[in-house]
Amino acid sequence: MARPSYPLVEALRITADRLEQGAYYQWTHQGSCNCGHLAQTITKLTKSEIHKIALEKEGNWADKTIDYCKTSGFPIDHVISSMLDLGMTTEDISNLEKLACPKVLKNVDSHKKPLRYNDKGDVILYMRIWADLLEQEIINSIKKENTNKVLV
């Protein structure tokens, strides 16, 4: 799972809020899907801009992470780099597109399972749980650090 960072936690929550407030969602549109919405938040590009540059390379977001090269010159690789810079991994991007991270899914209430990767409400839930998990990791790390300082 991603390297915990407050900017990533904030981006996930902002994206979930925007979706909940009625932002256009279409899983088959690379600027309006799960990863496309998070990319909008992180890069400040529009859904149309993201979709256009995503189409310059074949495949969905998971395919793009397999072919990702920071120095390729493809604009979509710059978008992916922006996501990775916040602490995400290419596996996180692939998992977000299909709502498939085992750590996140383990924290979904059983009556909400299985999550549907192309359901806006499920995407919102997934992003919020993921943000909460990352935030908890940050808090635990700070507590551990403070405990270690006291012990020294």
Q: What is the mean pLDDT of the chain?
A: 95
- 85-106, pLDDT tens digit by residue? 999 999 999 999 999 999 999 9
The C-alpha angle 138, 92, 54, rounded to 5 degrees, equals: 130
Whether 149 has a pLDDT exceeding 70, the answer reads no
How many structural domains comprise the chain? 1
Per the structure, the complete domain to which residue 47 belongs is given by: 6-151
* pLDDT greater than 60 at residue 152: no
The whole-number average pLDDT for the span 125-132 is 99
Identify the pLDDT of residue 8: 98
- Residues 6 or more apart whose CB falls under 8 angstroms from that of 123 comprise 16, 19, 25, 34, 37, 99, 117
3-state secondary structure of 132: helix
Q: What is the pLDDT of residue 146?
A: 74
pLDDT at 150: 60
What is the pLDDT, as a whole number, of residue 139?
95
Residue 1 lies in a domain: no
Residue 38 within any structural domain of the chain: yes
> How many other CB atoms sit within 10 Å of the CB of residue 128?
17
What's the rounded Cα separation, in Å, for the pair 142 and 48?
39
| 39-68 tens-digit pLDDT | 999 999 999 999 999 999 999 999 999 999
**Calpha distance 52→87 (Å, rounded):** 25
pTM of the model: 0.94
Please indicate, yes or no, if residue 93 is contained in any of the structural domains. Answer: yes
